[in-house]
């Protein structure tokens, strides 16, 4: 109970008309989804081939050829379909819907009589199903297809895709478990667990909830299933990552895990499922594990941008405070997974720290993975880029410009489905309360206490901290509005119908709880002050010693060579520098930039010397910082988030 409210929340979808996010949704609709459809059909010149649609045609017996691509190539089609579903939910499009229906029918034809659906094993290794769960992503692909099917059913009301995936999930339920003749295993890449939760929520079938529970509970138990499986394959070498299974978060049972380790996306998908299960079942030990892992990730292993997974080796977490800027991995999918986890954590407890991280990742670490026009993508999201250094073997994973496509193309369709579904992250509700997690121009119609309520939200967030909420109720009724007070905000003001409201005594864990009888046309105005802030890293983050980052509201900033010249490492920001923020409508689709005066070391004093015993001379230069998410939209060049401070 928080403020007398039972914290058992359901997310609700908002209609988004926000200037910032509507532009992104339109880009996904008009550019990304069509572009990715062409990519899935291998029609993008000079881009990595996908072959994903062709794989399904081969599996359905409708085309000749061999399987091509990663073992998880099916998941790219699944995520594309899920993005399409969210777009159709926002606005029906008969042509796009017909295309999606055709793909769904193709999946149906590729499905085996017992329900199995995986093109790699159907085409390339028939007869070897479930023989390498550790490496080959069978259940991962199934999970993404399930997520897509749930989204498509909720968007269109059509059951065909859902029925296909229920048949597959029912089959999986007969294969896996602790019963006689069942496989006591789980997938190497977590995903099925969170997908089964969604399938349970959509169908009410408790078998899916129990199956998700099984996969979570079985992970890391002894004797270790991956060892048994390896022995059955005749494999003798130790696992490549560490000789054990930290990579898969399968080294110990999940409730015993205190620190995020291994592959970041796998970890966060698992934590998302754990949080969802804890909320559904009331499992206190699972809840405590989630809370412990949340503190470790967000207070020891997360970048200021909401990026996670600092090492290219294994796309993984490493150890506390190891957050290099130039060799960072910070996969786009990992920030997306952090958003998923944060939303599920809000179902466990209403605490603003979860929504704060969700917002940080949304505005910084996720959308940085795509050009503003939606046609090129980052897999890796570095916080410092020197293009020449990207040629070194230890930095080859860092690209100085976004790519058209990838042979491992998990990130582009993942980002598309996240952006298209943004309306699901703004609000949640209980029987007598509505919570506002994100400040995004939107409107929702819902029922509270059995009566219809509409909320209209108007704002120019994230550039402006003023938010207007208008309530339309069919009759006067009492309920609670829970308003998130952002963690970055040092001063929040609230008025209702023009009268000031003291929110200090009403605020608990980052949410102001305003309970009153709401009437038609009641208007609430929130104002969050948005000064430019200089952010310091924890002293144990060694790479950022003596450096500062700039943030305004939820937006993290960076410096680019195009604005500030080369050798950004030679730029220093004086402690007393005056920083100004102003909106530039014609820059990068309209952004607030930060300007001021910095100092540069005078390189001319060195002549041809490499080292000199001198006090460096400096001179003043203007500088301009832009939002991090928008970097690399004006050509190749240096970039840095953390700036030397003087």
CA distance 294 to 342: 9
8 A C-beta contact, residue 588 and residue 372:
yes
Q: Contact 312/329 with Cβ under 8 angstroms?
A: yes
What tokens were used for 191? 């995903």
Compute the distance between CA of residue 81 and CA of residue 86 in angstroms, rounded to an integer. Answer: 9
Is omega for the bond preceding 344 within 30 degrees of 0, making it cis?
no
d(Cα 132, Cα 148) in Å, to the nearest integer? 24
Q: What is the 3-state secondary structure (H, E, C) of 520-542?
A: CCCEEEEEECCCEEEECCCCCCH
One-character DSSP codes across 135-162: HH-HHHHHHHHHHHHHHHHHHH---HHH
Distance CA 314, CA 316 (A): 5
CA triple 40-44-48, angle to 5 deg:
70
The three-class DSSP label of residue 454 is: strand
Q: What is the DSSP string of 110-134?
A: HS-TTS---HIIIIISTT-TTS-HH
From 417, 418, 469, select the one nearest 442 (Cα to Cα): 469
Contact 88, 96 (CB under 8 A): yes
* Structure tokens given for 492: 């929040």
Task: Residue 462: name the closest of 112, 34, 19 by CA.
Answer: 19
Q: Which residues contact 393 (CB under 8 A, 6 or more apart)?
A: none
Of 489, 467, 462, nearest to 592 (Cα)?
A: 462
Distance CA 269, CA 250 (A): 13
Q: Residue 252 to residues 213, 249, 605: CA-CA distances in angstroms?
A: 16, 7, 58
Q: Tokens 């829970």 sit at which residue?
A: 482
Q: How is residue 483 written in tokens?
A: 């308003």
- Evaluate whether 337 touches 270 at the Cβ level (below 8 Å): no
Query: Token digits for 212?
Result: 């998700």
Other beta carbons less than 10 A from residue 498's beta carbon: 7
Contact criterion met (CB below 8 Å) for 481 and 443: no
Asked if residue 585 lies in contact with residue 465, where contact means CB atoms within 8 angstroms, the answer is no
| CA 508 – CA 429 distance, rounded (Å) | 17
Number of C-alpha atoms within 13 angstroms, CB side, residue 636?
Answer: 11
Q: Token pair for residue 579? A: 């920083």
Round to whole Å and give the CA distance between 118 and 103.
15
Question: Which two three-digit tokens encode residue 237?
Answer: 């070498």
Please identify every residue annotated as catalytic: 315, 410
Cα(427)–Cα(123) distance, integer angstroms: 43
Residue 164 near residue 106 (C-beta atoms within 8 A): no
- Which region holds residue 601: left if phi is over 0, alpha if psi is between -120 and 50, else beta? beta
């Amino acid at each position: 109970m928080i403020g007398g409210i039972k914290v058992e929340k359901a997310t609700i979808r908002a209609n988004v008309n926000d200037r910032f996010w509507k532009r992104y949704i339109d880009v996904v609709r008009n550019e990304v989804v069509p572009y990715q459809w062409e990519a899935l059909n291998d029609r993008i010149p000079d881009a990595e081939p996908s072959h994903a649609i062709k794989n399904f045609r081969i599996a359905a017996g409708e085309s000749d050829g061999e399987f091509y691509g990663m073992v998880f190539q099916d998941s790219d089609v699944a995520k594309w379909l899920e993005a399409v579903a969210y777009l159709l939910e926002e606005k029906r499009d008969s042509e796009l819907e017909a295309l999606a229906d055709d793909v769904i029918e193709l999946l149906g034809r590729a499905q085996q009589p017992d329900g199995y659906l995986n093109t790699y094993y159907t085409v390339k290794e028939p007869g070897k199903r479930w023989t390498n769960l550790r490496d080959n992503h069978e259940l991962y692909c199934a999970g993404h297809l399930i997520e897509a099917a749930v989204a498509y059913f909720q968007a269109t009301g059509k059951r065909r895709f859902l029925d296909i995936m229920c048949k597959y999930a029912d089959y999986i339920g007969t294969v896996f478990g602790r019963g006689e003749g069942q496989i006591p295993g789980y997938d190497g890449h977590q995903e099925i667990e969170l997908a089964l939760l969604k399938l349970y929520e959509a169908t009410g079938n408790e078998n899916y909830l129990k199956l998700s529970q099984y996969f979570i509970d079985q992970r890391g138990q002894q004797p270790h299933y991956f060892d048994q499986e390896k022995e059955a394959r005749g494999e003798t070498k130790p696992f490549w990552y560490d000789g054990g299974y930290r990579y898969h978060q399968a080294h110990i049972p999940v409730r015993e895990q205190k620190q995020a380790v291994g592959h970041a996306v796998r970890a966060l998908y698992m934590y998302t499922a754990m949080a969802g299960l804890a909320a559904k079942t009331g499992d206190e030990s699972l809840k405590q594990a989630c809370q412990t892992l949340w503190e470790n990730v967000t207070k020891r292993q997360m970048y200021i941008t909401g990026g996670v997974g600092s090492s290219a080796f294994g796309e993984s977490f490493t150890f506390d405070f190891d957050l290099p800027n130039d060799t960072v991995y910070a996969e786009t999918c990992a920030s997306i997974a952090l958003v998923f986890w944060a939303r599920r954590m809000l179902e466990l407890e209403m605490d603003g720290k979860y929504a704060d991280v969700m917002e940080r990742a949304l505005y910084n670490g996720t959308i940085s993975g795509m050009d503003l026009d939606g046609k090129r993508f980052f897999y890796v999201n570095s916080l410092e880029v020197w293009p020449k250094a990207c040629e070194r073997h230890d930095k080859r994973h860092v690209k100085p410009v976004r790519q058209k496509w990838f042979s491992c193309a998990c990130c582009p369709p993942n980002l598309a489905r996240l952006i298209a579904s943004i309306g699901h992250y703004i609000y949640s509700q209980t029987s007598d309360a509505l919570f506002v997690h994100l400040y995004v121009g939107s409107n929702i119609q819902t029922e509270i206490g059995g009566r219809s309520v509409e909320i209209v939200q108007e704002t120019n967030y994230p550039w402006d901290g003023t938010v207007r909420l208008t309530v339309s109720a069919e009759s006067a009724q009492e309920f609670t509005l829970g308003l998130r007070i952002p963690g970055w905000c040092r001063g929040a003001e609230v008025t209702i119908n023009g009268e000031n409201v003291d929110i200090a005594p009403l605020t608990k864990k980052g949410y102001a709880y305003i309970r009153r009888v709401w009437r038609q046309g009641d208007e609430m105005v929130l104002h969050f002050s948005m000064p430019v802030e200089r952010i310091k890293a924890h002293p144990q983050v060694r790479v950022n010693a003596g450096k500062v980052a700039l943030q305004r509201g939820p937006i993290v900033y960076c410096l680019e060579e195009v604005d500030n010249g080369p050798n950004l490492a030679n730029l220093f920001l004086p402690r007393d520098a005056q920083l100004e923020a102003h909106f530039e409508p014609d820059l990068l689709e309209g952004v607030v930039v930060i300007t001021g005066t910095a100092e540069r070391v005078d390189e001319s004093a060195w002549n041809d010397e490499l080292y000199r015993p001198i006090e460096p001379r400096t001179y003043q230069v203007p500088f301009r910082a832009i939002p991090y998410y928008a970097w690399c939209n004006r050509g190749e060049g240096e970039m840095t988030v953390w700036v030397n401070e003087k």
